[in-house]
A and B are shown apart, each in its own frame.
Chain A
Protein backbone atom coordinates (compact mmCIF):
# COMPACT_ATOMS: atom_id res chain seq x y z
CA UNK A 1 0.00 0.00 0.00
CA UNK A 2 1.29 3.48 -0.74
CA UNK A 3 2.29 5.43 2.39
CA UNK A 4 0.88 8.66 1.01
CA UNK A 5 -1.88 9.19 -1.49
CA UNK A 6 -1.24 11.37 -4.50
CA UNK A 7 -2.96 14.43 -3.08
CA UNK A 8 -1.19 13.99 0.30
CA UNK A 9 2.21 14.35 -1.37
CA UNK A 10 3.99 17.64 -1.82
CA UNK A 11 4.64 18.76 -5.39
CA UNK A 12 8.16 17.31 -5.55
CA UNK A 13 7.06 13.90 -4.21
CA UNK A 14 4.18 13.76 -6.69
CA UNK A 15 6.40 14.90 -9.53
CA UNK A 16 9.02 12.29 -8.67
CA UNK A 17 6.36 9.53 -8.51
CA UNK A 18 5.00 10.34 -11.96
CA UNK A 19 8.46 10.86 -13.47
CA UNK A 20 9.48 7.42 -12.22
CA UNK A 21 6.26 5.94 -13.60
CA UNK A 22 7.05 7.43 -17.02
CA UNK A 23 10.66 6.21 -16.89
CA UNK A 24 9.60 2.73 -15.82
CA UNK A 25 6.90 2.46 -18.43
CA UNK A 26 9.46 3.29 -21.13
CA UNK A 27 10.91 -0.17 -20.31
CA UNK A 28 7.57 -2.02 -20.18
CA UNK A 29 4.62 -2.59 -22.45
CA UNK A 30 1.95 -2.36 -19.78
CA UNK A 31 0.11 -5.65 -19.66
CA UNK A 32 -2.28 -6.94 -17.04
CA UNK A 33 -2.24 -10.32 -15.31
CA UNK A 34 -4.56 -12.70 -17.16
CA UNK A 35 -6.70 -13.64 -14.16
CA UNK A 36 -7.44 -10.01 -13.23
CA UNK A 37 -8.10 -9.14 -16.85
CA UNK A 38 -10.66 -11.88 -17.46
CA UNK A 39 -12.26 -11.49 -14.01
CA UNK A 40 -12.92 -7.81 -14.68
CA UNK A 41 -13.93 -8.39 -18.29
CA UNK A 42 -16.59 -10.91 -17.28
CA UNK A 43 -17.72 -8.59 -14.50
CA UNK A 44 -18.18 -5.80 -17.07
CA UNK A 45 -20.09 -8.15 -19.36
CA UNK A 46 -22.35 -9.36 -16.57
CA UNK A 47 -23.19 -5.77 -15.61
CA UNK A 48 -24.09 -4.62 -19.06
CA UNK A 49 -25.45 -7.52 -21.04
CA UNK A 50 -28.39 -9.48 -19.74
CA UNK A 51 -28.89 -11.52 -22.88
CA UNK A 52 -27.16 -11.76 -26.26
CA UNK A 53 -28.79 -12.57 -29.59
CA UNK A 54 -26.66 -13.04 -32.67
CA UNK A 55 -28.28 -11.93 -35.91
CA UNK A 56 -26.92 -13.34 -39.15
CA UNK A 57 -27.41 -11.68 -42.49
CA UNK A 58 -26.78 -12.10 -46.21
CA UNK A 59 -26.54 -9.69 -49.07
CA UNK A 60 -29.21 -10.54 -51.66
CA UNK A 61 -29.29 -8.48 -54.85
CA UNK A 62 -27.27 -5.79 -53.11
CA UNK A 63 -29.65 -5.60 -50.15
CA UNK A 64 -28.93 -6.74 -46.62
CA UNK A 65 -31.29 -9.44 -45.44
CA UNK A 66 -31.08 -10.23 -41.73
CA UNK A 67 -32.34 -13.55 -40.48
CA UNK A 68 -34.65 -13.68 -37.47
CA UNK A 69 -32.87 -15.71 -34.76
CA UNK A 70 -34.87 -18.09 -32.64
CA UNK A 71 -35.82 -17.31 -29.07
CA UNK A 72 -36.25 -13.53 -29.42
CA UNK A 73 -38.54 -11.87 -26.85
CA UNK A 74 -41.93 -10.80 -28.18
CA UNK A 75 -41.04 -7.13 -28.62
CA UNK A 76 -37.88 -7.87 -30.65
CA UNK A 77 -38.01 -8.73 -34.30
CA UNK A 78 -35.78 -8.68 -37.34
CA UNK A 79 -36.99 -7.88 -40.84
CA UNK A 80 -34.85 -7.31 -43.94
CA UNK A 81 -32.26 -4.73 -42.82
CA UNK A 82 -34.11 -3.68 -39.68
CA UNK A 83 -33.93 -4.74 -36.05
CA UNK A 84 -36.83 -3.60 -33.91
CA UNK A 85 -36.43 -3.61 -30.13
CA UNK A 86 -39.56 -2.39 -28.38
CA UNK A 87 -40.13 1.13 -29.66
CA UNK A 88 -36.62 1.45 -31.06
CA UNK A 89 -35.68 0.50 -34.63
CA UNK A 90 -32.14 -0.08 -35.92
CA UNK A 91 -31.74 0.22 -39.70
CA UNK A 92 -28.49 -1.30 -40.98
CA UNK A 93 -27.23 0.32 -44.18
CA UNK A 94 -24.51 -1.16 -46.36
CA UNK A 95 -21.83 1.11 -47.71
CA UNK A 96 -19.86 0.49 -50.88
Chain B
Protein backbone atom coordinates (compact mmCIF):
# COMPACT_ATOMS: atom_id res chain seq x y z
CA UNK B 1 0.00 0.00 0.00
CA UNK B 2 1.47 3.37 -0.97
CA UNK B 3 1.73 6.16 1.59
CA UNK B 4 -0.96 8.33 -0.01
CA UNK B 5 -3.44 5.49 0.46
CA UNK B 6 -2.53 5.04 4.11
CA UNK B 7 -5.14 6.57 6.40
CA UNK B 8 -3.97 9.70 8.18
CA UNK B 9 -5.07 9.98 11.82
CA UNK B 10 -5.91 13.49 13.04
CA UNK B 11 -6.18 13.27 16.83
CA UNK B 12 -7.97 16.28 18.39
CA UNK B 13 -5.40 18.73 19.74
CA UNK B 14 -6.98 18.71 23.22
CA UNK B 15 -6.23 15.00 23.66
CA UNK B 16 -3.18 15.07 25.96
CA UNK B 17 -0.77 12.53 27.41
CA UNK B 18 -2.82 12.68 30.61
CA UNK B 19 -5.94 11.66 28.70
CA UNK B 20 -4.02 8.82 27.09
CA UNK B 21 -2.63 7.77 30.47
CA UNK B 22 -6.17 7.58 31.92
CA UNK B 23 -7.34 5.57 28.90
CA UNK B 24 -4.38 3.18 29.18
CA UNK B 25 -4.96 2.71 32.92
CA UNK B 26 -8.67 2.12 32.29
CA UNK B 27 -7.76 -0.66 29.85
CA UNK B 28 -5.28 -2.12 32.36
CA UNK B 29 -7.55 -2.05 35.41
CA UNK B 30 -10.43 0.41 35.77
CA UNK B 31 -10.63 -0.19 39.53
CA UNK B 32 -7.35 1.69 39.94
CA UNK B 33 -8.70 4.92 38.48
CA UNK B 34 -8.98 7.92 40.79
CA UNK B 35 -11.88 10.36 40.41
CA UNK B 36 -9.60 12.71 38.49
CA UNK B 37 -8.53 9.88 36.17
CA UNK B 38 -12.19 8.97 35.53
CA UNK B 39 -12.76 12.62 34.60
CA UNK B 40 -9.77 12.56 32.27
CA UNK B 41 -11.02 9.33 30.73
CA UNK B 42 -14.41 10.85 29.83
CA UNK B 43 -12.82 14.03 28.59
CA UNK B 44 -10.32 12.04 26.54
CA UNK B 45 -13.08 9.95 24.97
CA UNK B 46 -14.91 13.17 24.07
CA UNK B 47 -11.74 14.42 22.36
CA UNK B 48 -11.47 11.14 20.48
CA UNK B 49 -15.09 11.64 19.38
CA UNK B 50 -13.86 14.76 17.59
CA UNK B 51 -10.78 13.06 16.15
CA UNK B 52 -10.75 12.14 12.48
CA UNK B 53 -9.20 9.81 9.95
CA UNK B 54 -8.39 11.10 6.48
CA UNK B 55 -8.79 8.41 3.86
CA UNK B 56 -7.91 9.27 0.26
CA UNK B 57 -8.67 12.94 0.86
CA UNK B 58 -11.94 12.41 2.72
CA UNK B 59 -12.26 12.89 6.48
CA UNK B 60 -14.28 10.69 8.80
CA UNK B 61 -14.82 11.33 12.51
CA UNK B 62 -14.04 8.46 14.91
CA UNK B 63 -17.75 8.49 15.80
CA UNK B 64 -18.72 8.00 12.14
CA UNK B 65 -16.30 5.12 11.77
CA UNK B 66 -17.60 3.49 14.96
CA UNK B 67 -21.20 3.86 13.76
CA UNK B 68 -20.44 2.49 10.31
CA UNK B 69 -18.10 -0.40 11.08
CA UNK B 70 -19.08 -1.45 14.61
CA UNK B 71 -22.54 -0.24 15.62
CA UNK B 72 -24.26 -0.88 12.31
CA UNK B 73 -22.48 -4.20 11.89
CA UNK B 74 -23.02 -5.68 15.35
CA UNK B 75 -25.57 -3.79 17.48
CA UNK B 76 -28.86 -5.22 16.18
CA UNK B 77 -27.56 -8.79 16.09
CA UNK B 78 -26.11 -8.44 19.59
CA UNK B 79 -29.38 -7.08 21.00
CA UNK B 80 -31.42 -9.88 19.42
CA UNK B 81 -29.10 -12.45 21.02
CA UNK B 82 -29.11 -10.58 24.32
CA UNK B 83 -32.90 -10.57 24.52
CA UNK B 84 -32.82 -14.34 23.93
CA UNK B 85 -30.62 -14.95 26.96
CA UNK B 86 -32.22 -16.26 30.15
CA UNK B 87 -29.97 -14.10 32.34
CA UNK B 88 -28.93 -11.15 30.17
CA UNK B 89 -26.93 -9.35 32.83
CA UNK B 90 -24.98 -12.44 33.91
CA UNK B 91 -24.35 -13.89 30.46
CA UNK B 92 -24.47 -10.64 28.50
CA UNK B 93 -20.89 -9.88 29.50
CA UNK B 94 -19.68 -13.02 27.69
CA UNK B 95 -21.74 -12.09 24.66
CA UNK B 96 -20.37 -8.53 24.80
CA UNK B 97 -16.82 -9.91 24.78
CA UNK B 98 -17.57 -12.20 21.82
CA UNK B 99 -18.50 -9.18 19.74
CA UNK B 100 -15.67 -7.03 21.13
CA UNK B 101 -13.21 -9.60 19.75
CA UNK B 102 -14.55 -8.90 16.26
CA UNK B 103 -13.53 -5.23 16.43
CA UNK B 104 -9.81 -5.69 15.70
CA UNK B 105 -10.28 -7.86 12.58
CA UNK B 106 -13.02 -5.51 11.35
CA UNK B 107 -10.81 -2.43 11.68
CA UNK B 108 -7.82 -4.26 10.19
CA UNK B 109 -9.88 -5.26 7.19
CA UNK B 110 -10.81 -1.59 6.69
CA UNK B 111 -7.13 -0.53 7.02
CA UNK B 112 -8.09 1.40 10.16
CA UNK B 113 -5.94 -0.61 12.58
CA UNK B 114 -2.37 -0.76 11.38
CA UNK B 115 0.65 -2.39 13.03
CA UNK B 116 2.91 0.48 12.01
CA UNK B 117 0.59 3.32 13.03
CA UNK B 118 0.22 3.70 16.83
CA UNK B 119 -2.40 6.44 16.40
CA UNK B 120 -4.67 3.82 14.88
CA UNK B 121 -4.52 2.07 18.29
CA UNK B 122 -6.49 5.00 19.67
CA UNK B 123 -9.34 4.34 17.23
CA UNK B 124 -9.29 0.66 18.24
CA UNK B 125 -9.39 1.55 21.96
CA UNK B 126 -12.16 4.09 21.28
CA UNK B 127 -14.27 1.48 19.47
CA UNK B 128 -13.74 -1.12 22.21
CA UNK B 129 -14.61 1.47 24.87
CA UNK B 130 -17.89 2.43 23.19
CA UNK B 131 -18.80 -1.13 22.34
CA UNK B 132 -18.30 -2.27 25.94
CA UNK B 133 -20.29 0.72 27.21
CA UNK B 134 -23.12 0.16 24.76
CA UNK B 135 -23.33 -3.60 25.18
CA UNK B 136 -23.05 -3.66 28.98
CA UNK B 137 -25.59 -0.85 29.23
CA UNK B 138 -28.21 -2.74 27.27
CA UNK B 139 -27.55 -6.01 29.12
CA UNK B 140 -28.25 -4.10 32.33
CA UNK B 141 -31.36 -2.49 30.85
CA UNK B 142 -32.82 -5.79 29.69
CA UNK B 143 -32.19 -7.28 33.14
CA UNK B 144 -33.99 -4.38 34.84
CA UNK B 145 -36.90 -4.63 32.40
CA UNK B 146 -37.38 -8.29 33.29
CA UNK B 147 -37.20 -7.53 36.98
CA UNK B 148 -39.80 -4.75 36.71
CA UNK B 149 -42.09 -7.13 34.85
CA UNK B 150 -41.58 -9.83 37.49
CA UNK B 151 -42.31 -7.22 40.19
CA UNK B 152 -45.58 -6.35 38.41
CA UNK B 153 -44.67 -2.70 38.13
CA UNK B 154 -46.58 -0.82 35.46
CA UNK B 155 -44.16 0.88 33.09
CA UNK B 156 -43.66 1.77 29.46
CA UNK B 157 -40.29 1.14 27.92
CA UNK B 158 -38.62 1.76 24.59
CA UNK B 159 -37.93 -1.23 22.38
CA UNK B 160 -34.15 -1.73 22.40
CA UNK B 161 -34.40 -3.63 19.11
CA UNK B 162 -35.56 -0.44 17.39
CA UNK B 163 -32.65 1.78 16.44
CA UNK B 164 -34.91 4.87 16.49
CA UNK B 165 -36.25 4.07 19.96
CA UNK B 166 -32.74 3.51 21.31
CA UNK B 167 -32.16 7.22 20.77
CA UNK B 168 -35.28 8.25 22.72
CA UNK B 169 -34.71 10.64 25.62
CA UNK B 170 -35.94 8.19 28.24
CA UNK B 171 -35.59 4.42 28.52
CA UNK B 172 -38.76 3.98 30.54
CA UNK B 173 -41.77 5.80 32.01
CA UNK B 174 -43.12 4.93 35.45
CA UNK B 175 -45.92 6.98 37.07
CA UNK B 176 -45.45 9.59 34.32
CA UNK B 177 -41.82 9.96 35.39
CA UNK B 178 -39.11 9.68 32.76
CA UNK B 179 -36.29 7.33 33.66
CA UNK B 180 -33.00 6.04 32.34
CA UNK B 181 -31.25 2.72 32.95
CA UNK B 182 -27.52 2.73 32.39
CA UNK B 183 -24.30 1.33 33.75
CA UNK B 184 -22.49 4.03 35.69
CA UNK B 185 -19.61 4.67 33.23
CA UNK B 186 -21.99 4.84 30.26
CA UNK B 187 -24.30 7.16 32.15
CA UNK B 188 -21.51 9.49 33.14
CA UNK B 189 -20.06 9.62 29.64
CA UNK B 190 -23.50 10.58 28.31
CA UNK B 191 -24.12 13.13 31.05
CA UNK B 192 -20.84 14.87 30.24
CA UNK B 193 -22.48 15.92 26.96
CA UNK B 194 -26.06 16.63 28.01
CA UNK B 195 -27.80 17.81 31.16
CA UNK B 196 -29.73 15.60 33.58
CA UNK B 197 -33.00 15.70 31.66
CA UNK B 198 -34.96 12.81 33.14
CA UNK B 199 -36.66 12.39 36.52
CA UNK B 200 -34.88 9.26 37.75
CA UNK B 201 -31.94 7.04 36.87
CA UNK B 202 -31.27 3.39 37.65
CA UNK B 203 -27.62 2.44 37.83
CA UNK B 204 -25.15 0.25 39.67
CA UNK B 205 -22.27 1.42 41.83
CA UNK B 206 -19.76 0.04 44.28
CA UNK B 207 -17.92 1.38 47.28
CA UNK B 208 -14.94 -0.06 49.13
CA UNK B 209 -16.16 -2.61 51.64
CA UNK B 210 -19.51 -2.98 49.93
CA UNK B 211 -20.56 -5.18 47.09
CA UNK B 212 -22.01 -3.52 44.03
CA UNK B 213 -25.39 -1.97 44.68
CA UNK B 214 -28.31 -1.18 42.44
CA UNK B 215 -29.44 2.35 43.11
CA UNK B 216 -31.97 4.83 41.84
CA UNK B 217 -31.09 8.48 42.00
CA UNK B 218 -33.75 11.02 41.27
CA UNK B 219 -34.80 14.61 41.39
CA UNK B 220 -36.68 15.69 44.53
CA UNK B 221 -39.91 16.09 42.51
CA UNK B 222 -39.70 12.43 41.44
CA UNK B 223 -39.01 11.36 45.01
CA UNK B 224 -42.15 13.20 46.17
CA UNK B 225 -44.21 11.66 43.42
CA UNK B 226 -43.44 8.12 44.58
CA UNK B 227 -44.34 9.09 48.15
CA UNK B 228 -40.77 9.39 49.41
CA UNK B 229 -40.41 11.13 52.75
CA UNK B 230 -37.56 11.67 55.20
CA UNK B 231 -33.99 11.49 53.93
CA UNK B 232 -30.56 11.62 55.55
CA UNK B 233 -27.92 14.02 54.30
CA UNK B 234 -25.12 12.16 52.59
CA UNK B 235 -21.66 12.94 51.31
CA UNK B 236 -20.06 11.68 48.15
CA UNK B 237 -17.87 9.31 50.19
CA UNK B 238 -20.61 7.64 52.23
CA UNK B 239 -23.68 7.31 50.00
CA UNK B 240 -23.75 3.53 49.81
CA UNK B 241 -22.86 3.14 53.49
CA UNK B 242 -25.96 5.15 54.48
CA UNK B 243 -28.32 3.00 52.41
CA UNK B 244 -30.98 1.62 52.82
CA UNK B 245 -31.95 4.98 54.29
CA UNK B 246 -32.89 7.41 51.50
CA UNK B 247 -29.87 9.69 51.02
CA UNK B 248 -30.05 13.32 50.00
CA UNK B 249 -27.00 14.59 48.11
CA UNK B 250 -26.74 18.30 47.64
CA UNK B 251 -24.09 20.34 45.86
CA UNK B 252 -24.59 23.98 44.92
CA UNK B 253 -28.25 24.10 43.91
CA UNK B 254 -28.39 20.53 42.60
CA UNK B 255 -30.16 17.98 44.79
CA UNK B 256 -30.48 14.25 44.18
CA UNK B 257 -32.18 11.61 46.32
CA UNK B 258 -30.45 8.22 46.23
CA UNK B 259 -32.23 5.03 47.28
CA UNK B 260 -31.68 1.33 46.80
CA UNK B 261 -33.45 -0.05 43.77
CA UNK B 262 -35.60 -2.34 45.97
CA UNK B 263 -36.73 0.66 48.04
CA UNK B 264 -37.66 2.57 44.90
CA UNK B 265 -39.60 -0.42 43.57
CA UNK B 266 -41.57 -0.85 46.77
CA UNK B 267 -42.51 2.84 46.83
CA UNK B 268 -43.61 2.70 43.18
CA UNK B 269 -45.59 -0.48 43.88
CA UNK B 270 -47.32 1.23 46.81
CA UNK B 271 -48.40 4.22 44.70
CA UNK B 272 -49.54 1.97 41.86
CA UNK B 273 -51.40 -0.25 44.33
CA UNK B 274 -53.29 2.79 45.66
CA UNK B 275 -54.22 3.66 42.09
CA UNK B 276 -55.57 0.15 41.53
CA UNK B 277 -52.66 -1.28 39.55
CA UNK B 278 -51.83 -4.99 39.14
CA UNK B 279 -50.45 -5.24 42.70
CA UNK B 280 -53.85 -4.37 44.14
Contacts and interface: CB of A to CB of B under 8 A. Distances in A.
A30 B183 contact: yes
Interface residues on A, range: 35 or more
Contacts of B212: 29, 31
Given A7-B119, A31-B205, 20 more contacts: A1-B25, A5-B20, A5-B21, A17-B28, A25-B100, A26-B97, A29-B183, A30-B136, A32-B206, A33-B205, A34-B206, A34-B213, A34-B240, A36-B33, A38-B249, A41-B191, A43-B39, A46-B251, A46-B254, A51-B253
A6 interface: yes
Nearest to A14: B121
Interface residues of B, number: 66
B17 A25 contact: no
Contacts of B213: 34
B132 A9 contact: no
Interface string A10-40: 0100110111011111111111111111111
Contact of B239 (A7, A8, A34, A40): A34
Interface in B198-217: 203-208, 212-213, 215
Contacts of B124: 14, 18
Contacts of A75: none
A40 B38 contact: yes
A37 B188 contact: yes
Given A6-B20, A7-B121, A34 B205 contact: yes
Interface of A: 1-2, 4-9, 11, 14-15, 17-19, 21-46, 48-49, 51-52, 54
A32 B48 CA distance: 21
Interface stretch (B77-85, B88-96, B151-159): B88-96
